A and B are shown apart, each in its own frame.
Chain A
Amino acid sequence: MTATWIAVLATAAGCYVLKLAGLTVPQRILAGPRVRRFAELVPVALLAALSAVQAATNGQAFDVDPARLAGLGAAVVALALRAPFLVVIVTAAATAAALRAAGVS
């Protein structure tokens, strides 16, 4: 079994156990306001960080790719216009693809 498969299965197992824990663990243990707020804010912090890291870095180095950043910018515009999720994604990818086809790299 490859390392990637182990990561895939460990992620699946971890995510499942976290879901099951909510159905099983007594309410009072996880019901504190700070714990709840932390769980709400974790996705905000992690997904914002992931978005920035994937948009602006490659490995351990900064990697400014104008087409990719323009694609992300187009996503922001689409989100501000309340576009549905898939429209946001397609807009971002199409913008980057169009710029690369036009010679921006």
Chain B
Amino acid sequence: MPGCERAAPVGGPRADRQPRPVRDGIGLGLAVGVSGVAFGAAAVSSGLTVWQSCALSVLAFTGASQFALAGVIASGGSLLAGTAGAILLGSRNTLYGLRLAEVLRPRGLRRVPVALGVIDETTAITLAQPDPAAATKAFTTTFWCLYLTWNLATLGGALGAGRIGSPQAFGLDVVGPAAFLALIWPRLKSGRTERLVALAGVALALATTTVLPVGVPVILAATAALAGALAAPAAEGSPEVADCTSPEDPAK
């Protein structure tokens, strides 16, 4: 899904085989895009309408933020807190944009469509290519294939969930929590700082649940990320990029 989290050096496993930017892009786009079904179903069971769910996939197009907003709405939280949390989750895309700008070099108005496609998966596959021409092909193919699949899947999931009388009877209330866990699972395995930050985030959010407005405890969890960043900043050089192209990736 747009938002899969995979920390791995880009380019490693594929360096010794022929790059196939178009084929790989289509494969990744289809494989990840179908997860839009889960978002559509979760969004509608949260209380969003079918069109609101689709609008998020069309316009926001970043899975974690979309799930987060739906989650806060499901728990009856403040819309302001839900929106703030969702936007905060989108901040990593800014860093992906920085890396992609070096390779794709979009100029002027060309940045407007390119920006929509700046997500975990497109960044991973683009940075794995050996030259700028292949990188541009990989980005364009992955973006369009994933965008179309993700949006069609969202519509399908939203329409499907809308026909179900009781979302709980189908276990749809556990889709959100399971999706969040699946998204961060590779990160949790990648380092001790990640696990400590996750635990601290959970503790902060649960400890303040009964005293703060719904949605705010989750935003408070960002202070755990701040503490982690101050205690263990990134090494100089190439930043970690979510690599959704490796075979063991759970989101594929």
- Enumerate chain B residues within 8 angstroms of A60, measured Cβ to Cβ: 209-214
Q: Interface SS of chain B: helix, strand, loop or mixed?
A: helix
Q: Is the CB of B168 within 8 A of A7?
A: no
How far does the alpha carbon of A2 sit from the alpha carbon of B118 in the complex, in Å?
29
Residue of B nearest to A89 (CB): B38
Residue of A nearest to B183 (CB): A47
- Enumerate chain B residues within 8 angstroms of A19, measured Cβ to Cβ: 62, 90, 93-94, 96-97, 115-116, 118-119
CB distance from B135 to the nearest CB of A (A): 14
Q: Is the CB of B86 within 8 A of A11?
A: yes
- Enumerate chain A residues within 8 angstroms of B211, measured Cβ to Cβ: 60
B56 at the interface (CB under 8 A from A): yes
B interface, how many residues as a size bin?
35 or more
- Enumerate chain A residues within 8 angstroms of B27, measured Cβ to Cβ: none
A interface, how many residues as a size bin?
35 or more
- Enumerate chain A residues within 8 angstroms of B68, measured Cβ to Cβ: 46-47, 50
Q: Is the CB of B71 within 8 A of A39?
A: no
Q: Interface SS of chain A: helix, strand, loop or mixed?
A: helix
Q: Is the CB of A46 within 8 A of B252?
A: no
CB distance from A6 to the nearest CB of B (A): 7
Kindly supply a per-residue 1/0 record for chain A positions 74-97, scoring 1 wherever the CB is within 8 Å of any chain B CB and 0 otherwise.
011001001111101101111111
Q: Is the CB of A88 within 8 A of B184?
A: no
Q: Point out residues on B near A: beta carbons under 8 Å.
A: 1, 3-5, 7, 32, 34-35, 37-38, 47-49, 52, 55-56, 59-62, 64-69, 71, 73-76, 79-80, 82-83, 85-102, 106, 111-112, 114-116, 118-119, 168-185, 187-188, 193-194, 197-202, 204-206, 209-214, 217-222, 224-226, 228-230, 232-236, 239-240, 248, 250-252
